[in-house]
Structure 1
């Protein structure tokens, strides 16, 4: 999820904006003794990577066109990492106090309550959709953007995003011209909401902040863009349109970012297996 200079995820890895909304750099890392600099996937601790700006863009790329300028790591193989994960039939998670929505447009839950909780649920689920690998393919990108955004901003946003997701951009993140991963590699792009907060709410309008962590990169033995994590906060300005919450505009900033733990980096096969074996959430709150 998602997405260098975007959510796209302007400035280096701070704010990203377009007409509507990932990423960051400059994280503080504590390197413990005993770590070697061998294969990134082979057990050594990951070095600070300058590809973070690209990765950061992934999640917000859809939201912020400006940020998307910096290629996020996204894209992805259509097979195991993307559609397969979504088709595993994950169960919706009950939202606090209110029954989860029952409707959906494709894989994106729709039909939220017209209250603060409904706005928070919409913002969280829209962040998941916008940070997915589907944003790197023209057809699925159009479906996602049209589903989560106010129709008044959709055409302009799609036009900007189509230009941003150019062949050069996709190549820069290691993907082919149609947004697929090269043979033998698995593309990973997921945004996981950690928490939400309503900063303003008045009738048909709401502003919600979504604190997220994201995974972006290519998993495989010969990958030069290993899967990495990023932390960012997306601010979504929502409007009540057609009996549901829709994004009118959005922005993104880096962090809050926790200190890295002492976990050993997994192998390429382990990462690819996890992506293929663990389905992403269809309902985030």
Structure 2
């Protein structure tokens, strides 16, 4: 579903003079990271698309800055956490866009992974907005066309949503991706190949849900190119794992999961 992963970058980043500090911006929530293990062909498709959603959300959060005034109220009458609540401490090394160095390339990749795996990817208007923000202009149309073919009414129903992508009444749709770590495998002044190891959540929280929220682990590989003063995605691919041994944690109830999603805001700055 995603373009071929063309590892064109080569060389190093010497000469950029990066700060060496490590931070990552995670916006709200071309393709997202792995989703819950497929139990059917439709679930496999969900896994692939889920990653895209995560990346897009990340970008949306980054572009929003710290403004989250439109967030609805959470449980117990309290307001949902605003962007500042989950923002990283300290001064952001990059106020607009990402630094033109190895750190900047890794930050961009981590944030894009979050955005592509977000729930916003299931909305045509929001999805296109995300792609236009993170995909290199020459590839944007191709990514939009590919995802339009994936996010069909049948696909939406397969993940538990209504055909138009909206969430059924009484349920909470969950689609989030969390970067665990990043590494640059190839890089030069204008190109970088970055791998992002992630965990993801996907499903519908609510009583009698036939698509309960499940977790998965995957690695996203992005080829980035420095375009118009920022890193943009040229190609994107993903693979399963590395996956840790499951713990003995008790699975939360549908109500607990829905409450957690409503009360815990997404990161606006993660690397």
TM-score, normalised on structure 1? Answer: 0.72
Alignment gaps of 5+ in structure 1: 1-5, 7-16, 27-47, 65-77, 104-110
Higher helix share: 2
The equivalent residue for 2:113 is 127
Query: Contact conserved, 1:61 with 1:130, CA < 8 A, in 2?
Result: yes
1:162–1:79: structure 2 CA closer, same or farther, 3 Å change rule? farther
Unaligned runs of 5+ in 2: 5-29, 56-70
In structure 2, distance between residues paired with 1:139 and 1:225: 25
Query: Aligned in 2, Cα 1:284/1:88: closer, same or farther, shift over 3 Å?
Result: closer
Tell me what 1:183 maps to.
169
The change in CA–CA distance for 1:164 and 1:87 in structure 2 (over 3 A counts) is farther
Q: CA deviation at 1:86?
A: 8.2
Please report how far the alpha carbon of residue 162 of structure 1 lies from its aligned counterpart in structure 2 after TM superposition. Answer: 1.1
- Counterpart selection for 1:57 from 15, 39, 48: 48
How far the C-alpha of 1:80 sits from its partner, in A, is 8.0
Q: Structure 1 residues 121, 85: CA separation in 2 closer, same or farther (over 3 Å shift)?
A: farther
Aligned counterpart, 2:87:
92
Secondary structure of 2:174's aligned partner: strand
Q: 2:95 aligns with which of 86, 89, 102?
A: 102
1:247 aligns with 233
Matched, 1:235 2:226: no
- Tell me the C-alpha RMSD between the 2 structures: 2.8
Aligned residues: 225
User: Quick one: which of 96, 99, 110 aligns to 1:113?
Assistant: 99
Distance 2:156 2:202 in 1: 13
TM-score for both structures, normalised by structure 2 = 0.75
Q: Offset of 1:63 from its aligned partner? A: 9.5
Distance (Å, rounded) in 2 between the aligned partners of 1:88 and 1:99: 14
